[in-house]
Every structure is written in C-alpha cells, then in structure tokens.
C-alpha cells in the first residue's frame, strides 16, 4: 500500500482538473472513429463531423468518470495471483514494447523473437516480486499484422499470472478475447475472471485514432479491462512543463474513459499515463530521468482523486546494458511511484535503452530492486509486539538479542533478505568466485528457466489457439 509520498497539494490537483475541463470544453478532442463520435454527439458533446472534433462539457465527463468502476479484479490462471486494483494498492510488473533482446550468452543486441517472449513470460512467472505480466518485447519473427494473437498465445501458455496484452483492431480484439475465453472456460467466466487487460494508446496531442477506438468499442461490449495509456512527450507532443503534460494526458485519458462508458457503462477502465520528456539538446526521448518519477507520482495523485485504477510506469532507463546507470535510474523511479501508491506500475522490470530492448538478466536484477521497494513501502509497524519492551527488559544491559524467540519470530518479516545482492564479506565473495551482479543474475535466469514449470493447457485448447492464429494468418494475407 502506497500513498505516503506526494508532489501535488489538493489545490494543485483541483487546478489540473479544472484546466482539463477547460481544454475538453474549449479545444475538444479529435475522434477519428465514426461510432465514437456519434456516441459523444448523442450524449451531449458539441461535435463537428467535418473536422471530427468533439467538445465535451464538464457534466458529461463527470458522468462518465462516475460510471467507471473504482475497484477492478485482474486474474491469472492461478487464483492466488488475483490482483485487487484500487486506491493506493500497488503492484509491479513488466513493460512490453521492445523489439530487441540482449542475448543472455553473448551480451549482444539482437532482434526479439517469439521464443524470447516465451522465456520472458516463464521467467516473470517464476520471479516472486513480479505481480503481473506484459510481453517486454513484441516478437519480430511473426506476422506483424497479427502479433497480438501470437503474444496472447504465449502468455496463455507460459504464465499463471495476469497479463497485459495488445489487440489490433476489432478483429484482433475478437480473436484475443476468444483465445482467453477458451482458457477461462467461457465468455461469462472470462468477464468475471479476466485473464487479460488490453492496452490502447491515445495519440498526443488530443487525438483518438480509428483503430484503437474501434478496438475499445469491441472490448467495452464484453466488459474487458481496458488500459487507456497516454504516451505524450514533454516539449514535443505535450507542453514542456510537467503540469501542462498532466493536463494534456488527463484530457486524453478521461475522454477515452468516457467513450468506453458510453459504449457500455461499468466497463472496467484503467487510467494509463506513461509520458516522458524530450531532451532538447538532441531531440531524443529520455526516460531514466527524475521528471518521469515526478509525472508518475503526480498522475498517481490524479487517479486517486478520480477514484480510477491507475497504470503508470517506473523502472525505465536510458542505459543500453545492465549497469550502475540502469540501477539508479530504475530504483529512484520505482521507490517514488511505489510510495505514491501507483496501482499497476509497469515497465518496472526488464527494459533497457528507452524501452526498445529487453534483458532477462535485467529482469532478475529489477526483481531484486522491486523487493526492496516493497519493503520500504511497508514502512515500520509500531505496536506492542514490535516496540519490544518485554524482550528489551528481559535481555537488559550488556546482553544480546540473537537467541531470543522475538528475534526468530520477526526476523523474516522485518528485514529484507535479498537473494541476488551479495552481502557477504569480501573473503567469502572471493571464495565464491568474485562474481558481479550480472553474472549472478545470468545464473539465476538459467536456473529459473530450467526448473520453473507452468501447468500446461489442455491439448484441445492449445490446438484451438493454434487454429485461431492460422485463420488470422490467412485473413491477413
């Protein structure tokens, strides 16, 4: 549970909210999908069909926000992995947009494959601090017109945890929902126990494109969880100021949430915000910077203001390899956004090089960082047992607490017991081979991939998933 850290006052949050209402009422938003534009028109927006722009009155937006669920259950194939997403409850998971992988053996960057996705998914399933899955990479050795089906297939086979995934248009949404319903036991069962959340991005500034909006309409019909994510760039596709970026992404995401509620009130929607700055010195996007953490904290406070579950990011780096830069950039973001109570904190593990390269060893290192962050988030429990006056009085001056039952009882819960970090003496470290953290991480990857097993799908279901992909391949030809 987060919520201990804030960067915005209550007055500042309201100012951002008021500015958002002004933007949506005066400037409006470009909506390229005709059915969505018509829905907005019929429910009170001022729509110009020629320019496809909708100006949304405040009352209409507020009604849409009110219809969005405040709590969402996200499920895995194993019910023990169910996430209750609400308030300031935080979970950490993978990102999912890379096109390259760092080869585990050579350390060289290469094109990402479907086999990589399978290993990523199994490894993430095995890591105890990874609460949900995303692909980390988009496999480049499959038909890019239907990569969403290939990705869904791998996730359904290779993890018992909840997964975020993509859907390419209306047909893609239908296929992926069908694949998930086969595993869940039916459409009704999938709606009650969603195995997938679907990520759809807005287009900054202030645009909802045709494909993502048609996808949203199809998903909303089935009440599938939808993450509406704004990926604006401060100084490029959004104002250079952080407050201005918060206003812009707020307008984009809230208007997308409104459309989903107009399609099917009560559709589970998640506020997604993954904005980042532009380095004005060279025109590149920068991600491992303090501003990403500040935006993550700010949007956590905004989502809590609206009572809508949040998908934010922390754990991004601009470093090309697992190194000290990657470690400090990732840890700084994760601890701040975690303490702010961001709900679904993605990109927390495995990503390098501005989110275009995945790394198995970095996943293991990030799992370690997340474990430490979770310990910090738990804080210090103060009660009659933890104040320890009885044991202090028993041991008294000049004694020690090593052999006390109180120590045995509380040690595992009170202290971080990292598995990857080396906390031995130098002599013990040298005796063990003087291995650095990357070497230890690679060994952990190989051990997890060798030993961790996923409960297999029924043969008949696995064949049906293959058939859906075969038909999709034929349609896309």
Q: Is residue 439 part of a domain?
A: no
417 pLDDT exceeds 90? no
Task: Write out the H or E segment, with its range, that includes residue 91.
Answer: strand 91-94
The answer to whether 368 and 108 have CB atoms below 8 angstroms apart is: no
- Per-residue pLDDT tens for 227-261? 999 999 999 999 999 999 999 999 999 999 999 99
Which CATH number is 361's domain given? 3.20.20.480
User: Does residue 50 form part of some domain?
Assistant: no
221 pLDDT more than 90: yes
Same domain, 374 and 398: no
State residue 383's pLDDT score.
Answer: 96
Say what the pLDDT of residue 137 is: 96
Tens digits of residue pLDDT in 132-145: 999 899 999 999 99
Q: Is residue 341 located within the same domain as residue 407?
A: no
Per-residue pLDDT, 2: 86
**Same-domain check for residues 321 and 409:** no
Instruction: Tell me what pLDDT residue 96 has.
Output: 82
For residue 397, what are the domain limits?
384-414
**Does 293 share its domain with 252?**
yes
Count of the separate structural domains present in the chain = 2
Note the pLDDT tens digit of each residue in 175-206: 999 999 999 999 999 999 999 999 999 999 99
pTM given for the model: 0.95
| pLDDT-derived band at 358, boundaries 50, 70, 90 | very high
Q: Is the pLDDT of residue 1 over 90?
A: no
pLDDT of residue 97: 86
Cα distance between residue 97 and residue 102, in whole Å:
14
Mapping DSSP to helix (H, G, I), strand (E, B) and coil, where does residue 157 land? helix
Looking at the fold, whether 225 and 192 belong to one and the same domain comes out as: yes
Residue 341 domain-assigned (yes or no): yes
- Same domain? For 203 and 145 the reply is yes
In the chain, the N- to C-terminal Cα span, in Å, equals 48
Residue 207's pLDDT band, with cuts at 50, 70 and 90, is very high
pLDDT over 70, % of the chain: 100
356 and 410 in a single domain? The answer is no
Give the mean pLDDT of 75-97.
95
Chain mean pLDDT for the chain = 96
Q: Determine the Cα–Cα distance for residues 439 and 458; give it in Å rounded to an integer.
A: 37
Question: Nearest to residue 406, comparing CAs of 385, 425, 379?
Answer: 385
* Residue 321 sits in the same domain as residue 236: yes
């Amino acid at each position: 549970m987060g919520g201990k850290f804030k960067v915005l006052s209550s007055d500042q949050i309201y100012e951002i909210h008021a500015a958002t209402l002004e933007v949506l009422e005066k400037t409006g938003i470009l909506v390229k999908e005709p059915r969505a534009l018509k829905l907005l028109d019929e429910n009170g927006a001022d729509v110009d069909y020629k320019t496809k722009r909708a100006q949304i009155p405040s009352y209409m937006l507020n009604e849409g926000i009110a219809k969005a669920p405040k709590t969402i259950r996200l499920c895995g194939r194993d019910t023990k992995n169910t996430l209750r997403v609400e308030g300031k409850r935080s979970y950490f998971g993978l990102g999912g947009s890379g096109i390259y992988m760092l080869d585990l053996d050579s350390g060289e960057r290469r094109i990402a494959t479907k086999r990589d996705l399978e290993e990523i998914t199994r490894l993430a399933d095995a890591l105890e601090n990874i609460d949900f899955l995303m692909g980390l990479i988009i496999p480049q050795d499959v038909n890019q017109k239907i990569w969403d089906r290939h990705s869904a297939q791998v996730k359904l086979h290779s993890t018992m945890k909840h997964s975020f995934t993509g859907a390419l248009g209306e047909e893609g949404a239908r296929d992926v929902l069908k694949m998930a319903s086969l595993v869940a036991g039916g459409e009704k069962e999938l709606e009650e126990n969603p195995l997938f959340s679907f990520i759809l991005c807005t287009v900054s500034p202030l645009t909802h494109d045709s494909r993502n909006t048609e996808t949203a309409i199809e998903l909303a019909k089935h009440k599938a969880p939808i993450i509406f994510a704004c990926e604006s760039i401060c100084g490029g596709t959004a104002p250079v100021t952080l407050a201005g970026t918060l206003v812009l992404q707020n307008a984009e995401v809230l208007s997308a949430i409104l459309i989903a509620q107009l399609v099917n009130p009560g559709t589970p929607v998640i506020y997604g915000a993954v904005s980042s700055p532009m380095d004005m010195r060279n025109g590149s996007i920068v991600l491992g910077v303090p501003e990403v953490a500040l935006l993550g904290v700010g949007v956590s406070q905004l989502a809590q203001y609206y009572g809508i579950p949040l998908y934010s990011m922390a754990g991004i780096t601009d470093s090309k390899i697992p190194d000290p830069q990657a470690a400090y950039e990732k840890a700084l973001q994760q601890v701040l956004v975690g303490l702010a109570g961001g709900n679904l904190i993605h990109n927390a593990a495995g990503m390098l090089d501005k989110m275009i390269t995945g790394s198995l060893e970095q996943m293991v290192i990030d799992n370690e960082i997340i474990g430490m962050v979770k310990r910090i988030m738990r804080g210090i429990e103060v009660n009659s047992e933890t104040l320890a006056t009885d044991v202090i009085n028993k041991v008294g001056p000049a004694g020690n607490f090593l052999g006390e039952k109180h120590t045995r009882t509380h040690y595992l819960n009170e202290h971080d017991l990292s598995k990857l970090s080396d906390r031995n003496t130098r002599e013990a470290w040298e005796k063990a081979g003087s291995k650095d953290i990357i070497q230890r991480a690679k060994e952990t990857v190989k051990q997890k991939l060798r030993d961790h097993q996923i409960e297999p799908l029924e043969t008949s279901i696995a064949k049906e998933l293959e058939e859906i992909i075969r038909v999709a391949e034929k349609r896309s030809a």
